[in-house]
Amino acid sequence: MRRSRRVLACTLLLSAAIASAQTRPQGKSPDLDRLMSALAQRPHGHVTFLERKYLAILDRPVESSGELLYDAPDRLEKRTLKPKPESLVLQGGVVRAQRGRHTYTLDLQRYPQVVPFIESIRATLAGDEAALERVFKVRFEGSFDHWKLLLVPLDPKLAAKVREIHIQGEASAIHSVEIQEADGDRSVMTIGADVGR
Amino acid sequence: MSRAGLPAMIVWVGLLGLACIVVVRAHYTADLSAFLPRAPTATQRLLVEQLREGVASRLILIGIEGGDAAARARASLELGRRLRADGQFVSVQNGEPVGLEQDRALLFKHRYLLSEAVTPEHFSVAGLHEALQSSLDALASPAGMLLKSLLPEDPTGEMLQIIDQLGNEQQPPMVDGAWSSRDGKRALLVAQTRAAGSDTDGQERAVKTIRAQFQAAAPAANAAGSSSSTHLLLEMSGPGVFSVEARGTIKHEVMRLSILSTVLIMLLLLQIYRSFAALVLGFIPVASGALAGIAAVALGFGLVHGITLGFGVTLIGESIDYSIYLFIQARQPAGSDWKRMLWPTIRLGMLTSVVGFASLLPSAFPGLAQLGLFSISGLVAAALVTRFVLPNLIPAGFDIRDTARIGVGFAALLRRVRMPRALLIIVPVLAGIVLYTHRASLWNRELSALSPVSQADQQLDARLRADVGAPDPRYLIVVSGADQEAVLQAAEKVGQRLDPLVASGILTGYESPARYLPSAALQRARQASLPDPAQLRERLQAALSGLPIRLERLEPFLHDVEAARHQPLLRRADLEGTSLATGVDALLLRDGSRWSALLPLRVPASFAMAASPVHSAVSEAAPGEAVVLDVKAQADQLYSTYLSEVLKLSLAGFVGIIALLLIVLRSPMRVLRVVAPLVLAVLSVAAILVLLGRELTILHVIGMLLIVAVGSNYALFFDRRANDRHAGEVPLTLASLVIANCATVVGFGVLAFSVVPVLSALGSTVAPGALLALVFSALLAGDLPAPDRAAA
């Protein structure tokens, strides 16, 4: 009995070691570094987006679309045009949302549950690998020309809300961001063409 | 000491002891309420109440500067935690979500009673469909992930509606978890004290607590950060802080100035008397007068205002005169007859002053009435002590230097400048021209002219206020009624009229207690708009057609609506422990059996109240129950009213003085000769002040009254001299007048350099005025006997 338990432990350890041996070279792949530095070199971005949310309480996904504007290193604006105009500006750790006549201010420090939703996109756009790794366990898949980032929150409290975030792209262009929540709900944001400045 | 003087001495010592006890036990205050009316109209009472007790008067704005942003935020959070643990503060806000959970729970539980969207139409099939659609849109928005958990219980979005209703306050930005100024240079906190703004002692305790807790919180905040090298600094502002500082300044100034003028007058008198005993004796009437004045005010009003105390300084310059007249003129050969020869003149001079100051007693300004009572009791006490106590204290062999030389010198000077009296007509003419050409800017009609708050402190206050985004408390709608329900209903009616003005941008927004606590009638109407369970289920089913939500998911909503239909109405007591209670208490006031609701307006920069449709909106909504109040204009108008009141009272006092002189002197010509120099002095001083660019305030008027009070002594002595050839030695009379005048000019001249506007106004009026009163009295006195003959 005791012997078999030790075997089990050894197997677990071994498999963990193998797993980490598999992920580590990938995580530190030259392609990730190349991707990050390519992203870091873009001072601005202005693209369209289409977002679908798949919620358990709803029979169909809800859809919204608009534009994303980015200025390095920490200003991100999500300008929703449909179904209702709404703007969301992240700057210096504070989110300012404008709906109709009302403005709401959200301090990320006060609402840590919002951090993964925002920091995943901002840090990726900024090519800020260090910032990504502060919040997530980062896994890189594919190559620079056709890549996928898998982000898992490090903080167990955040992980209880957000299971995983998948970001896909080609070279320095991001194509989609998919956020899978722990309760099974998910949202998929497809990023369209560069609108240009 | 003569036996005859013994009763007087016993009475004096006894009264002095009593006065000391009263003075020590008295309460002292320094807020602006000295200049607020005693018997106001209902609106004024509300205004005064707001300035003295209102929530605005209890706010202390706190800024933390220095260090780096993280250290400031840490200090703010630590200070906030410490102050919240202290019982002196109702609330301390710095951006921390304190009590947010209680607020949220209360709002959610009563959402169908509080939401302005709840109407019968809102719960029709079409209304439900629209509300559901808009909730789905909200789910699609970036805020969707925060809102989705609300959907099963609140698919019509009442919670968001309530947050929109309440949450249109601009809040300062957050840096490192605490409020920060927009330029990011300081952390901000807003503390609301339990003590009223007019409770200067309570405010002082609160200010001290904040300082001490900051001292304790700052080092920890500094140590936690490694990079910050500069120290954190605390700044505070607010009505309470101002009155604490003003009281401190006035205390300090009164101390400093009374010591300074006492020392100067002592040096002057020592130089003249060459007798230490005379010096000490001379101050006995002064001290007795000041004690009697403060004691009388404390007994008469129950509360002594700081400026009354400041006035005590001025009394030194005037009451020292009495002992000067006694010592110098009693020295002449007929000295034993001082009581018969000189006392009547001093007594008449004193009575003249008393009549002048008595005119202030009926003032509706408590501050002015206090000044009047203080002066009357102080002067009477000083004169009586000089007459009945001082002679008993003079030791045998008491003597002072012969001062006749001073009188001789002055007489020579007067002879040299002697001119036809008619030439003096040029003085009122010139003064009249100056005053007439400046008539538009003659008077300062703003209450703030009397404010003891320094320019720098006012700027700090404006900066912190702008940083915090505190609403300008200038415009208010006041709704009054017999009970809470009535004023809440009226406030709701007014609110309905204001909403379109907000929508069209005429107003930026407004607050109303009915937002936190709707009237029972409105709550009942909202309950009545909720359909019964069967009906709601049926309508919801129809409303959901075409929408991606199934009815089963909304069972919690059906349950909550049914509960809301029977839930007890929200009352003030239910708000206890939430920030909504603070909101209601600030805006819903009770004064005896009268209730008032305040609706502060937020206005754009270009707002002009006079031409605004707010007036018509208010008068249509609640005729006779609601008024629009421009707090600053009201306060200034109030002050303006008092300015003209003081002018009228002073004129009445002047008429009283003339009547008194007519009765005593029994000759219109003599009265004219006594009054003319005083009028000339007052006119000249007013013209000089105006030429120097000063705008005249109430305190200048009081100063002019003092010129008349002091100057009447000089004029009366010259009058007596002219009418009674045997009244005493001319040089000694002149000497005593010159010396008394010097003492007065020194006493008030020192005040002119005070940083407290009220005191400097007094000083800069009385010092030159007293000098001019003596000069004009002498010039108008007519023929003085040749001094070489009179100087024995």
Contact state of B145 with A107 under an 8 Å Cβ cutoff? no
Question: How distant is the Cα of A148 from the closest Cα of chain B, in angstroms?
Answer: 23
* Tokens 């002196």 found at: B88
Q: Which CATH number fits domain B3-30+241-451+635-790: 3.90.1150.10, 1.20.1640.10, 1.10.10.10, 3.30.56.10?
A: 1.20.1640.10
State the pLDDT at residue B488.
Answer: 93
Question: How distant is the Cα of A108 from the closest Cα of chain B, in angstroms?
Answer: 9
Q: Which residue is closest to B151 within chain A, CA to CA? A: A57
State the pLDDT at residue B102.
Answer: 80
The minimal CB distance from B136 to the residues A62, A99, A107 is found for A62
Cis peptide upstream of residue A73 (ω within 30 degrees of 0): yes
Q: Where are the domains of chain B?
A: 3-30+241-451+635-790
State the pLDDT at residue A24.
Answer: 43
CA distance B286 to B412: 32
State the pLDDT at residue B448.
Answer: 67
Q: Is residue A20 part of a domain?
A: no
The residues with which B542 forms a beta bridge, in sequence order, are: none
- Angle at the Cα of B564 from the Cα atoms of B563 and B565, rounded to 5 degrees: 90
Residue A92: list chain B partners with CB under 8 A: 175
Give B349-403 pLDDT, tens digit per residue.
Answer: 889 888 988 988 888 778 888 888 998 999 999 999 988 888 888 877 777 777 7
CB atoms within 10 A of CB A94: 16
Question: Residues of chain B with pLDDT > 90: what percent?
Answer: 19
Residue B162: list chain A partners with CB under 8 A: none
Residue A84: list chain B partners with CB under 8 A: 137, 141
Contact state of A83 with B140 under an 8 Å Cβ cutoff? yes
Q: Which residue is closest to A118 within chain B, CA to CA? A: B142
Contact state of A55 with B139 under an 8 Å Cβ cutoff? yes
Residue B141: list chain A partners with CB under 8 A: 64, 80, 84, 86, 99
Enumerate chain A positions whose Cβ falls within 8 A of a Cβ in B: 51, 53, 55, 57-60, 62-64, 78, 80, 83-84, 86, 88, 92, 94, 97, 99, 102, 104-105, 107, 109-110, 114, 117, 181, 185, 187
CA distance B139 to B150: 10
Query: Is residue A20 scored above 90 in pLDDT?
Result: no
Give B101-121 pLDDT, tens digit per residue.
Answer: 788 888 899 999 999 889 999
Residue B142: list chain A partners with CB under 8 A: 78, 80, 86, 88, 97
Three-state SS at B36: coil
State the pLDDT at residue B615.
Answer: 81
Q: Is residue A8 part of a domain?
A: no
State the pLDDT at residue B790.
Answer: 39
A184 within 8 A of A57, measured Cβ to Cβ: no
Contact state of A63 with B164 under an 8 Å Cβ cutoff? no
More confident residue, B707 or B618: B707
How many folded domains does chain A comprise?
A: 1
Residue B218: partners with Cβ closer than 8 Å, 6 or more residues away: B75, B231, B232, B234
Give B134-158 pLDDT, tens digit per residue.
Answer: 888 888 777 777 778 888 888 888 8
Query: Is residue B72 scored above 80 in pLDDT?
Result: yes
Both tokens assigned to B570: 């929200």
Question: How distant is the Cα of A178 from the closest Cα of chain B, in angstroms?
Answer: 14
The minimal CB distance from A84 to the residues B95, B137, B173 is found for B137
Residue A59: list chain B partners with CB under 8 A: 548-550
A108 within 8 A of A94, measured Cβ to Cβ: yes
Residue B146: list chain A partners with CB under 8 A: 114
State the pLDDT at residue B469.
Answer: 66
> Which run of H or of E encompasses A107?
strand A102-107
Residue A50: list chain B partners with CB under 8 A: none
Contact state of B173 with A94 under an 8 Å Cβ cutoff? yes
Question: How distant is the Cα of B549 from the closest Cα of chain A, in angstroms?
Answer: 5
How many Cβ pairs closer than 8 A exist between chain A and B?
70
CA distance B24 to B47: 32
State the pLDDT at residue B205.
Answer: 93
Q: Is residue A5 part of a domain?
A: no
Question: Residues of chain B with pLDDT > 70: what percent?
Answer: 88
Question: How distant is the Cα of A86 from the closest Cα of chain B, in angstroms?
Answer: 8
How long is chain B?
Answer: 792
Q: How far is CA A174 from CA A72, A128, A170, A178, B700, in A?
A: 15, 14, 6, 12, 76
Structure confidence at residue B452 as a pLDDT band (50, 70, 90): low
Q: Find, among B545, B544, B523, B541, the residue nearest to B533 by Cα.
A: B541
Q: Is residue A155 part of a domain?
A: yes
Phi, psi torsion values for B474, nearest 5 degrees: -80, -45
Contact state of B141 with A84 under an 8 Å Cβ cutoff? yes
Indicate the pTM of the whole model: 0.68
Average pLDDT on B298-320 reads 77
State the pLDDT at residue A13.
Answer: 40
Enumerate chain B positions whose Cβ falls within 8 A of a Cβ in A: 95, 97, 136-137, 139-146, 148, 151-152, 164, 167-168, 171, 173-177, 548-550, 553
Question: Residues of chain A with pLDDT > 70: what percent?
Answer: 79
Both tokens assigned to B791: 């100087």
How long is chain A?
Answer: 197
State the pLDDT at residue B697.
Answer: 86
Give A71-119 pLDDT, tens digit per residue.
Answer: 877 788 888 888 888 888 888 777 777 776 667 776 676 677 777 888 8
Burial of B663 (0-12, 13-18, 19+ CB in 10 A): exposed
Both tokens assigned to B285: 């009437």
Give A139-155 pLDDT, tens digit per residue.
Answer: 888 888 888 989 898 88
Q: Is residue A22 part of a domain?
A: no
Contact state of B141 with A117 under an 8 Å Cβ cutoff? no
* Tokens 């959901």 found at: B544
Question: Average model confidence (pLDDT) for chain B?
Answer: 82
State the pLDDT at residue A166.
Answer: 92
Q: Find, among B460, B371, B349, the residue nearest to B759 by Cα.
A: B371
The interface predicted TM-score of the complex, written ipTM, equals 0.74
B44 within 8 A of B37, measured Cβ to Cβ: yes
3-state secondary structure B305-361: EHHHHHHHHHHHHHHHHHHHHHHHHCCCHHHHHHHHHCHHHHHHHHHHHHHHHHCCC
Question: How distant is the Cα of A14 from the closest Cα of chain B, in angstroms?
Answer: 39
CA distance B266 to B282: 9
Q: How far is CA B204 from CA B214, B218, B239, B242, B347, in A?
A: 15, 21, 11, 10, 44
Residue A122: list chain B partners with CB under 8 A: none
CA distance B621 to B623: 6
Give B528-552 pLDDT, tens digit per residue.
Answer: 999 999 999 999 889 888 888 888 8
How many angstroms separate the first and last alpha carbons of chain B?
31
Q: Find, among A182, A160, A69, A76, the residue nearest to A112 by Cα.
A: A160
Q: Is residue A102 part of a domain?
A: yes
Contact state of A58 with B136 under an 8 Å Cβ cutoff? yes
Q: Which residue is closest to B505 within chain A, CA to CA? A: A101
Question: Average model confidence (pLDDT) for chain A?
Answer: 78
CA distance B346 to B354: 12
Q: Is residue A130 part of a domain?
A: yes
Q: Is residue A6 part of a domain?
A: no
- Angle at the Cα of A92 from the Cα atoms of A89 and A94, rounded to 5 degrees: 55
Burial of B644 (0-12, 13-18, 19+ CB in 10 A): exposed
Give the pairing of strands A94-99 and A86-91.
antiparallel
Contact state of A53 with B174 under an 8 Å Cβ cutoff? no
Mutant choice from B174, B176, B555 vs A, greatest count of A C-beta within 10 A: B174
B669 within 8 A of B722, measured Cβ to Cβ: no
Highest mean pLDDT pick, B197-201, B241-245, B290-294 = B290-294
Residue B361: partners with Cβ closer than 8 Å, 6 or more residues away: B369, B372, B373, B376
Domain that holds residue A148: 27-194
Query: Is residue B166 scored above 80 in pLDDT?
Result: no
Query: Is residue A6 scored above 60 in pLDDT?
Result: no
CA distance B165 to B515: 7
Contact state of A62 with B550 under an 8 Å Cβ cutoff? no
CATH of the domain at A36: 2.50.20.10
CA distance B419 to B595: 69
Structure confidence at residue A23 as a pLDDT band (50, 70, 90): very low
CA distance B398 to B384: 21
Contact state of A58 with B549 under an 8 Å Cβ cutoff? yes
Both tokens assigned to B407: 């009188």
Greatest Cα pair distance in chain A? 69
Mutant choice from B145, B549, B557 vs A, greatest count of A C-beta within 10 A: B145
Mutant choice from A60, A65, A99 vs B, greatest count of B C-beta within 10 A: A99
